Amino acid sequence: MKLSKLKVEGTYLKDEAGNYVQLRGVSTLGLHYPEYITKESFQTFRDEWGANVIRLAVYTHEAGGYCTDGNREEQNELIIKGVEAAAELSMYVIIDWHVLREKTPLRYKDEAIRFFDTMAERFGSYTNVIYEICNEPQESPFGEVIRPYAEEIIPVIRKHSKDSVIIVGTNNWSQDVDEVIDQKCSDPNVMYALHFYAATHKDELIQKAQKALDGNVPVFISECSICEASGNGSIDYETGRKWIDFADRNHISYVVWNLSNRDESSSLLRAGTISKSHWKDEEYSDTAKWFKKEMYSKKDK
């Protein structure tokens, strides 16, 4: 089934018929766990969680990164495999250029241009693909660094895909989404990333997100969890509840970090889990159990 094209209207994501769309799903941990980038894994999230989007995080600077010592050919093949699997399952998919330790998206701008030119040419006709062009910039003021970068990358995508949704990261690990007010990119089909980790990011960041919405900034929570910002540590269910209620009230999409079996709070699978799909309850982490219940309660809505 061909998925509806998505479009940005005001602060909302909508389908071709003008209905509100809220995407809910999970993000891979880079491309370091290829065993989970499969149709069977994605189908588990679709059918047993109620998820409708998968985020393929492409680390750029880390060990094994796309722009360091990673095997680009293998990573490109994994991305293609993931996009095709999602398309077969009528799920949306985010191709995420995972700016992180390099801080500024300018570090690998030329590589980003080539990457998105390749990906948009390959998937230009796909209605399920969303492009996230810089995950978590730091020390990069939106107006001075991120917006000029985005204004170079977006036309590269538009050469091949005139109306796909594009997500632009914001400064300070995609927390300063209010910086975008009165500085939005010229392209109208763009949303702006906000990331939260509930045990660290509490009411102050929710207020910042509300300020952005009030300033007509379309927000997309392209990464989140209920643990600490390190991806580990304690879980804060109460603040997690506040965040999801805020997202639901405002039709904001959200993607949960991360699909792996690492021994940390944000991993959706418990350390030592061998299964690659259709996981049993005891194979899920506490974080996964909470989000699974949350997403499934909204399945098909």
In this prediction, residues 15-28 reach a mean pLDDT of: 97
Give the tens place of pLDDT for each residue, 48-92: 999 999 999 999 999 999 999 999 999 999 999 999 999 999 999
Q: Is 223 a catalytic residue?
A: yes
Q: Is residue 203 predicted with pLDDT exceeding 60?
A: yes
Whether residue 24 is predicted with pLDDT greater than 60 in this model: the reply is yes
- If you compute the radius of gyration of the chain from its CA atoms, what whole number of angstroms results? 17
Is residue 272 scored above 90 in pLDDT?
yes
Catalytic residue among 132, 136, 179, 294: 136
The 10s digit of each residue's pLDDT in 134-185 is 999 999 999 999 999 999 999 999 999 999 999 999 999 999 999 999 999 9
Residue 119, pLDDT score: 98
Superfamily of domain 7-296: Glycosidases (3.20.20.80)
> What was the pLDDT predicted at 301?
74
Closest CA relative to residue 259, chosen from 92, 26, 32: 26
Q: Examine the residue annotation and report whether 264 is marked as an active-site residue of this protein.
A: no
Provide φ and ψ at 140, rounded to 5°: -135, 85
Nearest-angstrom CA–CA distance, 189 and 94? 15
Tokens representing 138 are 């730091």
Q: Say yes or no to pLDDT of 300 above 90.
A: no
Contact 150, 25 (CB under 8 A): no
The catalytic position among 132, 179, 223, 264 is: 223
Residue 80, classified by CB atoms within 10 Å of its CB into exposed (0-12), middle (13-18) or buried (19+), is: middle
Two tokens, residue 23: 């995407």
Long-range contacts of range 201-210, CB-CB < 8 Å, 24 or more positions apart? 201/175, 201/229, 201/239, 202/236, 202/239, 202/242, 203/242, 205/175, 206/242, 206/243, 206/246, 208/175, 208/176, 208/177, 208/178, 209/177, 209/178, 209/246, 210/246
Q: Model confidence at 114, in pLDDT bands (50, 70, 90)?
A: very high
- The answer to whether 135 and 171 are in contact (CB under 8 A) is no
Q: If you average pLDDT over residues 267-286, what whole number do you get?
A: 98
Judged against a pLDDT cut of 90, whether residue 1 lies above it is answered with no
Beta-bridge partner residues of 272:
none
pTM over 0.85: yes
Mean pLDDT across the chain: 97
Separation of alpha carbons 18 and 268, rounded Å: 33
Q: Residue 208: helix, strand or coil by DSSP?
A: helix
Tell me the mean pLDDT in the region 182-204. 98
pLDDT at 115: 98
pLDDT over 90 percentage in the chain: 98
pLDDT at residue 207 in the model: 98
